[in-house]
Chain A
Amino acid sequence: EAQVTQNPRYLITVTGKKLTVTCSQNMNHEYMSWYRQDPGLGLRQIYYSMNVEVTDKGDVPEGYKVSRKEKRNFPLILESPSPNQTSLYFCASSSAWTPFYGYTFGSGTRLTVV
């Protein structure tokens, strides 16, 4: 089944404890992206990648890191999480970076930072 797999689905952590949210897709997509969803603010792009070793900032990159060492994987790293990073996170991928392809989303990761 074609899908984007995120792990974990739920995570509660403490301020300052480094964490990684994994994302993997099995569709051979070039384009991958991370979004966060917050009430009243909608979905905002954190980082994106157009291919292996090519990553760039989205709208809200502060406090996050990403890497794209393999085409299928695009982990999101929070080196020192803070409570304002409590959010619902989505990884997404697309077969092309033209505007005529939508995203396939992962199931989401609910992160709580206390």
Chain B
Amino acid sequence: AQKITQTQPGMFVQEKEAVTLDCTYDTSDPSYGLFWYKQPSSGEMIFLIYQGSYDQQNATEGRYSLNFQKARKSANLVISASQLGDSAMYFCAMREGGTGRRALTFGSGTRLQVQP
């Protein structure tokens, strides 16, 4: 079963509007971290925001916020006031605890295009 699911292959948003990128995850481990990364066309992976499984409040980092709904196992990324420079691929990822290799497992990504 997919551990991280991103159901939106592509999204369009108008400049200055907010956009939500969906992410659901699957784990039975009580300890895990959820991460969002941005990959612009130049290829690098840029860390955006993090949410721990025990965190009570939703994470925020500037224009980025993470809508964490633990019971639904969702961790949606909200970008407020979109800018042209936000056009990129966005990946949701999870890192589990336990005794495993603690790899970062990625979703398939969402390509966001911000239109002027």
Q: Which residues of A contact B (CB under 8 A)?
A: 31, 33, 42-43, 45, 48, 56, 58-59, 88, 90, 92, 97-105, 107-108, 110
**B33 to A101, Cβ gap below 8 A?**
yes
Q: Which residues of B contact A (CB under 8 A)?
A: 29, 31-33, 35, 37, 43-47, 50, 52-53, 91, 93, 95-97, 101-104, 106-109
Question: CA of A105 to CA of B39 in the docked complex: distance in angstroms?
Answer: 11
Question: CA of A47 to CA of B96 in the docked complex: distance in angstroms?
Answer: 17
Top-5 shortest CB links A-B: A105-B45, A99-B95, A99-B97, A99-B33, A43-B106
**A45 to B33, Cβ gap below 8 A?**
no
Question: How many cross-chain pairs have Cβ atoms below 8 Å apart between A and B?
Answer: 66
- Candidates B29, B43, B102, B106; contact of A110 at CB < 8 Å: B43
Question: CA of A90 to CA of B93 in the docked complex: distance in angstroms?
Answer: 15
**B46 / chain A contacts, CB cutoff of 8 Å:** 105
**A105 / chain B contacts, CB cutoff of 8 Å:** 37, 44-47
**A102 to B95, Cβ gap below 8 A?**
yes
Between-chain CB contacts (< 8 Å), 30 pairs: A42-B106, A42-B107, A42-B108, A42-B109, A43-B91, A43-B104, A45-B103, A48-B103, A58-B101, A58-B103, A59-B103, A88-B43, A92-B45, A92-B104, A97-B102, A98-B102, A99-B32, A99-B52, A100-B33, A100-B50, A102-B35, A102-B50, A102-B95, A102-B104, A104-B47, A105-B37, A105-B45, A105-B46, A105-B47, A108-B43
Question: CA of A56 to CA of B99 in the docked complex: distance in angstroms?
Answer: 14
